[in-house]
């Protein structure tokens, strides 16, 4: 896998593999060859052995990838150059082989299987998602290259779909061409592996828990016999709930493909199968995928192409919540002893909650594309294509029969069905002409039409199985649907280069739709490039191969919403020694007006309070720097490819308008990032003899002589400010070593479960840190004395968070390490074996499962939240790859 940074359109890529894998004609959107501001990851013949392409995107500067959880098939948050909204979707646009896909269901915050197409997020789990991650539909073995568009002019070409960046994916289409037929080639790539939890919570064992519980009982003044003695521990038995819930799990993947070209027909046919058991008990995923890419040349002018892919993904998700959040949170907080029945009701242990409560979603996805290209003249090409995508998710929720003291046994069932359809049609013309003296002109006109539709139905039923009749029966059925107005998007692009040195690019796109009234939004973009290496005073330079300066501007927005994002950027590309070594440096600023956001506000009433939803009028600014270094080098028999991507992003809420009587919005503070944490400052523990001895002492921030709610203020940020990725490939003879290291810095994480575990209360389990609790003779500690007043309510602590609860998320991760050996490597045949692993090592102080987590989903204001959901696993793999 190699990576390239694009700074101008017609420069040859020194790191690209064979032309068959990098052909621009695969993407018929006319601006592919013209607009810069992107970086490409080429998968070639050795893609990273992952379940999706998303982990590889971190190799591009300015891109951060954060999974919702580590569950098989879990979604991931991909951020490109920061965030431009407050809540809701902030995912990029995905385009596969020139057609937008996956974008009807890529934003789970606005399409929720439980609460409808919009609704508040559950604070204790990740957002409800409609089926598996849509990128699971695309096995990495079927991918030729992935291009990340982030520049001002490049994203402006996608109008109201380009505000969060664009991920353009090109699938493999087979080898050969009309003049050089390619015989049938058979490829196989497969691996097997084991997965394990990399880091667990450090919790108390039974005797340590008994010590804390007995101390809490004494501190609360209950007196008498301590609640836990050795006999109680022996009777109930010691239990390590993490051992009961987490396991070593297997994974296997197989991909078989046929490709070739004969008689003007180019083909690529592939079958893929993935079977993954999860590291949490009762979790798993099975994926089966078929793909056909067919291209037919009819004469010298007309080319027809057909692309079709079908996928079925079956998942098992333990527990009643998303991503095993309820199961794991319960397991971490449950006392390390065997469960007991209470008051005649069934009490489920964490292990029973994982095995007897589960969801079983099945996701089926069909993608079809049909296109035609006609070369009317050597310089003029006409094309048209259409695409259809259908997603069907059927999810059943299974619960055990519930026993009641009166002998009744009740059973509940739930079934939901989700349908998502999208239609895309595109046509256009492209003109290219080269003049004398290095002048060239390119122009294109495009018309794009898109339409989306979603439908959801849900059935719930509760009925008695045995015992007294006439109680507990209930049935509900709900349906809802959402259909977009057709989006009509004409666009025009012009590119002119003077003397091969001075290049001007300009584009204009309009997104139009008719609902109650006709709406049209215009999105201009422009870029200037100066190719200094083509100047007379540098063209003969013996070392310098490329030197380009560029500056661009562009306007984007979200889907038919009032927000507008204006981006300005400037960049420098340097290549030396025939572009064996390249440097790309970019600076950008993105300003967003009327940023999207829906916030829940508690309004006091005479009888309590009510919750209203408001949309504040906010302005955001993202400023950043991006650096990419790449090089090919050789030292004797050792050859290598090195790539470094580093980025800085500063997100700021520059202005916010308060509406009505509201004087503040939760999580938002002018002049700071949108993802802040409301917390107190902890000064230590109240000393003996003082009021509240042994309890947490909060700092009087406003110096009013009182320690109360007004002393809390927003601190930290959940959005990483710095990102780093380094990739190294080394080859010597038949051996090849590949390593990828990623890092995120400059952000904090709030973990409500970890906050509760640090509070010794005698009812729930606690962390090892809780053993260092305060006593009159042990005062050098930040942990309060054990007390039932520290008991967490509803698995969220009743104690307000402090700066001590905001953990640093800074970390470095060994994302991928692979060692391969070529058994056979000839032009006709290749056979290799490899051993490797993923997520092998993570440095940093974080005490949860993993510091790179997004329990708040894609919503920026919820960044940095960790609900102790399904952990990201460490994976060890052994694989084989062959071509015949």
- Residues 776-791: pLDDT tens digits? 999 999 999 999 888 7
Rounded (5°) CA angle 844-51-865: 40
pLDDT score at 412: 81
pTM of the predicted protein model: 0.90
Domain locations along the chain: 2-197+248-651+662-676+718-752+809-883
pLDDT score at 18: 30
Residue 211, beta-bridge partner list? none
What SS3 string covers 165-232? Answer: CEEEEEECCCCCCCCCCEEEEEEEEEEEEEEEECCCCCECCHHHHHHHHHHHHHHCCCCCCCCCCHHH
pLDDT score at 705: 86
DSSP string, 400-461: PPEE-TTS-EEEEEEEEEEEEEEEEEEEEEEEEEE-GGG-EEEEEEEEEEEEEEEEEEEEEE
Q: How far is residue 268's CA from residue 261's CA, in Å, rounded to a whole number? A: 9
Question: What phi, psi does 646 have (nearest 5°)?
Answer: -135, 145
Residues of the chain with pLDDT below 50 are: 1-35, 108, 110-123, 342-344, 470, 794-797
Q: How far is residue 792's CA from residue 329's CA, in Å, rounded to a whole number? A: 12
pLDDT score at 660: 57
CATH topology for the 2-197+248-651+662-676+718-752+809-883 domain: Maltoporin; Chain A (2.40.170)
Whether 762 and 877 have beta carbons less than 8 Å apart is answered as: no
And the tokens for 509?
Answer: 């796109």
- Residues 714-766: pLDDT tens digits? 999 999 999 999 999 999 999 999 999 999 999 999 998 999 999 999 999 99
Q: How far is residue 851's CA from residue 809's CA, in Å, rounded to a whole number? A: 5
């Amino acid at each position: 896998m190699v990576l390239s940074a694009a700074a101008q359109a017609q420069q040859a890529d020194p790191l690209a593999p064979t032309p068959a894998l990098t052909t621009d004609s695969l993407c018929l959107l006319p601006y592919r060859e013209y607009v810069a501001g992107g970086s490409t990851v080429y998968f070639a013949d050795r893609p990273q052995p992952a379940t999706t392409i998303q982990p590889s995107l971190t190799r591009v500067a300015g891109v951060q990838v954060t999974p919702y959880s580590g569950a098989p098939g879990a979604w991931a948050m991909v951020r490109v150059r920061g965030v431009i909204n407050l809540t809701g979707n902030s995912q990029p646009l995905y385009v596969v082989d020139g057609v937008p896909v996956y974008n009807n269901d890529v934003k789970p915050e606005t399409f929720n299987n439980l609460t409808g197409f919009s609704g508040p997020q559950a604070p204790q789990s990740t957002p409800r998602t409609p089926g598996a991650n849509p990128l699971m539909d695309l096995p990495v073995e079927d991918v030729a290259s992935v291009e990340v568009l982030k520049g001002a002019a490049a994203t402006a070409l996608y109008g109201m779909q380009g505000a969060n960046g664009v991920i353009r994916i090109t699938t493999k289409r087979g080898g050969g061409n009309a003049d050089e037929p390619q015989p049938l080639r058979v490829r196989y790539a497969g691996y097997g592996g084991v997965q394990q939890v990399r880091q667990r919570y450090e919790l108390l064992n039974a005797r340590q828990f008994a010590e804390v519980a007995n101390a809490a009982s004494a501190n609360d003044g209950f007196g008498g016999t301590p609640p836990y003695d050795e006999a109680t521990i022996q009777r109930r038995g010691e239990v390590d709930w993490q051992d009961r819930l987490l396991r070593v799990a297997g994974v296997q993947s197989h991909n078989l493909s046929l490709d070739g070209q004969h008689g003007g027909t180019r083909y690529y046919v592939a079958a893929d199968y993935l079977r993954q058991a999860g590291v949490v008990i009762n979790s798993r995923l099975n994926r089966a995928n078929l793909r056909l890419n067919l291209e037919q040349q009819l004469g010298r002018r007309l080319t027809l192409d057909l692309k079709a892919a079908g996928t079925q993904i079956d998942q098992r998700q333990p527990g009643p919540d998303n991503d095993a959040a309820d199961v794991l949170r319960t397991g971490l907080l449950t006392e390390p002893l065997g469960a007991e029945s209470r008051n005649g009701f069934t009490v489920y242990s964490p292990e029973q909650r994982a095995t007897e409560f589960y969801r079983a979603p099945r996701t089926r996805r069909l993608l079809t594309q049909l296109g035609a290209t006609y070369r009317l003249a050597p310089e003029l090409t006409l094309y048209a294509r259409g695409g259809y995508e259908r997603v069907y998710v059927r999810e059943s929720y299974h619960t055990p029969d519930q026993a009641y003291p009166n002998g009744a046994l009740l059973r509940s069932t739930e079934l939901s069905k989700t349908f998502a359809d999208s239609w895309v049609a595109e046509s256009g013309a492209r003109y290219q002409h080269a003049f004398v003296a290095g002048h060239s002109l390119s122009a294109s006109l495009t018309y794009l039409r898109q339409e989306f539709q979603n439908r959801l139905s849900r059935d719930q039923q509760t009925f008695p199985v045995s015992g007294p009749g006439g109680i507990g029966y209930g049935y509900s059925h709900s349906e809802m649907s959402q259909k977009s107005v057709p989006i009509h998007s004409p666009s025009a692009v012009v590119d002119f280069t003077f003397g091969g040195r001075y290049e001007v690019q300009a584009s204009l796109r309009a997104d139009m739709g008719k609902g109650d009234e006709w709406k049209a939004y215009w999105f201009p973009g422009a870029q200037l490039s100066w190719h200094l290496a083509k100047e007379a005073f540098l063209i003969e330079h013996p070392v310098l191969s490329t030197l380009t300066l560029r500056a661009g501007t562009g306007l984007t927005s979200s889907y038919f919403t009032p927000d507008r994002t204006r981006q300005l950027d400037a960049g420098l590309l340097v290549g030396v020694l025939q572009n064996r070594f390249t440097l790309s440096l970019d600076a950008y600023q993105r300003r967003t007006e009327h940023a999207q956001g829906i916030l829940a506000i508690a309004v006091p009433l005479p009888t309590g309070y009510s919750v209203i939803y408001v949309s504040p009028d906010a302005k955001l600014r993202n400023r950043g720097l991006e650096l990419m270094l790449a090089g090919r080098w050789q030292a004797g028999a050792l050859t290598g490819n090195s790539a470094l991507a580093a980025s800085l992003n500063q997100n700021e809420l520059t202005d916010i308008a308060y509406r009505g009587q509201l004087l503040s919005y939760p999580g938002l503070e002018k002049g700071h990032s949108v993802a802040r944490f409301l917390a107190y400052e902890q000064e230590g523990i109240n000393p003996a003899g003082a009021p509240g001895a042994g309890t947490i002492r909060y700092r009087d921030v406003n110096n009013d002589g009182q320690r109360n709610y007004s002393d809390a203020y927003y601190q930290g940020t959940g959005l990483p400010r710095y990102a780093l990725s380094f990739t190294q490939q080394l080859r010597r003879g038949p051996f090849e070593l590949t390593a990828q290291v990623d890092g995120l810095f400059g952000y904090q994480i709030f973990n409500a479960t970890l906050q509760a575990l640090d509070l010794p209360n005698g009812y729930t389990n606690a962390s090892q840190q809780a053993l260092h609790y305060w006593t009159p003779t042990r005062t050098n500690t930040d942990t309060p004395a054990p007390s039932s007043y520290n008991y967490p309510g509803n698995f969220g602590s009743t104690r307000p968070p402090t700066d001590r609860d905001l953990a640093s998320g800074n970390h470095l991760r060994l994302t991928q390490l692979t060692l391969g050996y070529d058994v056979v490597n000839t032009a006709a045949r290749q056979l290799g074996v490899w051993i490797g692993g993923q997520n092998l090592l993570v440095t940093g102080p974080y005490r949860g499962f993993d510091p790179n987590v997004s329990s708040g989903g894609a919503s920026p204001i919820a960044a940095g939240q960790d609900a102790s959901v399904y952990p990201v696993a460490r994976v060890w793999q052994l694989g084989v790859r062959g071509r015949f």
